[in-house]
Chain A
């Protein structure tokens, strides 16, 4: 799979800006999602209360994450689930491949899980000789196209129906069409027999309830229900931050999540799975394995500002309102997690070295903070990360510039001089080509405000 890298965000963004198809697709998708979310939020008079409550619940859990995780694990194991702990991506993949191999699995069906994309699980399973089938329509499309997802909840949003039609013709031998209903039913038919043949089903988890050991998974298509009820073995992969304290807390989250993600009052299906079946003759898998993934999440607990990042529900609302994401789309970020939330969690999960540009690729407008259902203060997080990255990675020229700037700001005499110098420089040459490539500079003033005030 051809993944772009976060390290080349600037170049990626440039390429994206030159792609008219992509920009059109992004404009449609983000404005439609944005309007739906806005209408759905407005339809609930207690929307702000829900956000406040959700933010408080998440803060409560994350501040006591060890206790809540242990409670969840104890309850889930008491009901027959087998729980595995994975410190990092490699360990998670190894556990999952091991489970599948031990049971001589050949076909693995997967429902959408950002966490498994984060660990590149599919590559590991294929290397272990298994056939992996993504069953979420958007994920299936990008799997066929061998591309990474470009949006947290609508992974194939960058593709037009025409492009998808061509893809289906090339890969599935389907007669050419761009009719959405036909494309969807082709995917349905093709995937049916994969479900029937599957030995293992792998899903993500939206919420893990500490009080009862229940995992909750939310969807619209039905593929998660198929993935988690047909195969003999169900593996549920979750980041350690997915825990919530009580079953009753679902009232708040199940109201916020579908509205924030796609403007729906309720998604089509919610599966509440607690352990394994009671009798052998009951429906459902024989085994439930839950894989808990750290992969850098526990580090984020070390400061209240970064801890908020873990509250994310993966709804994608911040992407849709972000002026940067709206222009460049998800691939440019070079990460499984794009957009505003991606800009803050990618450097924290993958390491600052790998994603140092991302926290600076924002105008700090704050639109993301306004729509986040759990009130993550993303601009504050961006500034926090900039404060950490700049001392390590700020260029020598920039560091010097700001040191000089600070000197000038500390002394009125120097300040006056610097404004004079600035005004002269503007007269003589463009201050920055980066500005003037697209914008004119304001004509210079002959007198400063300070001077005018003195002359009063």
Chain B
């Protein structure tokens, strides 16, 4: 049934494009050269780490640069008085949390049914973009989708070496493997809206707070 619709639509596209041909030659459309080199803004004077921290903070994210991640985790979770912590399936996250040695209820690789009860979600990030303060989470590497979204606080852990400068580099990285994973998420700060009188409200459906702990040790 749907094949009729497919052929009809493709046919309509082709016939209308054909009708356009005599007029096309009168216009002078610009065609992209491949590859196009766009004029690139000057390179930042600071380090990528500093640029990332600045970018993240400008969108109300919290950036912690440290060599002791467990300690950083402990401080954040204690300050939040968080009890129910959901984590991804990353063995590194589980290890770091155990090392923080806290009295908490732990949920690992939870499903949709259970995750709504939890106060904090912890994941790693596979890459980050300094120019915008963006985290790159790849579902092929880590089960991140719900744990970085549902609990009101999201903590992401990333090594400084994983920070690249530009969006373009991050896109190239994602494209570089065999195939793109089924779900990749870019996260830039906590969730927000300005739908009511254009007044900014932080924390809508996604997390209200985002902490990024950067492992500064090389």
Contacts and interface: CB of A to CB of B under 8 A. Distances in A.
Contact of B198 (A33, A69, A181, A305): A33
A25 B197 CA distance: 7
Contacts of A45: 39, 41
A214 B201 contact: no
A418 interface: no
B2 interface: yes
B191 A222 contact: yes
Given A49-B39, A274-B180, A282-B139, A161 B199 contact: yes
A57 B34 CA distance: 11
A180 interface: yes
Nearest to B191: A222
Interface stretch (B20-28, B68-76, B93-101, B155-163): B20-28
A155 B193 CA distance: 12
A270 interface: yes
Interface in B170-205: 171-172, 174-175, 179-199, 201, 203-205
Given A46-B38, A265-B132, A298-B12, A247 B196 contact: no
Among A64, A87, A95, chain B packs the most CB atoms within 10 A around the CB of: A87
Interface in A169-203: 180-181, 183-185, 187-188, 191-192, 195-196
B183 A272 contact: yes
B182 A277 contact: yes
Contacts of A84: 2, 5
B167 interface: yes
B197 A278 contact: no
Contact of A160 (B134, B172, B175, B197): B197
What secondary structure prevails in chain A residues at the interface with B?
helix
Nearest to A135: B205
Contact of B190 (A70, A268, A283): A268
B194 A284 contact: no
Given A28-B197, A66-B10, A196 B112 contact: yes
Contacts of B31: 56, 59-60
B193 A137 contact: yes
22 contacts: A46-B38, A56-B31, A56-B32, A57-B32, A63-B17, A63-B24, A66-B14, A159-B196, A161-B199, A185-B203, A221-B204, A223-B204, A225-B145, A225-B206, A247-B175, A248-B175, A250-B167, A268-B191, A276-B182, A282-B143, A294-B12, A303-B20
Shortest Cβ-Cβ A-B pairs, 3 listed = A222-B206, A138-B195, A222-B205
Given A66-B17, A222-B207, A283-B183, 15 more contacts: A46-B40, A53-B38, A56-B29, A66-B13, A91-B5, A137-B196, A180-B199, A187-B204, A226-B205, A229-B183, A251-B171, A272-B186, A278-B182, A299-B12, A301-B17
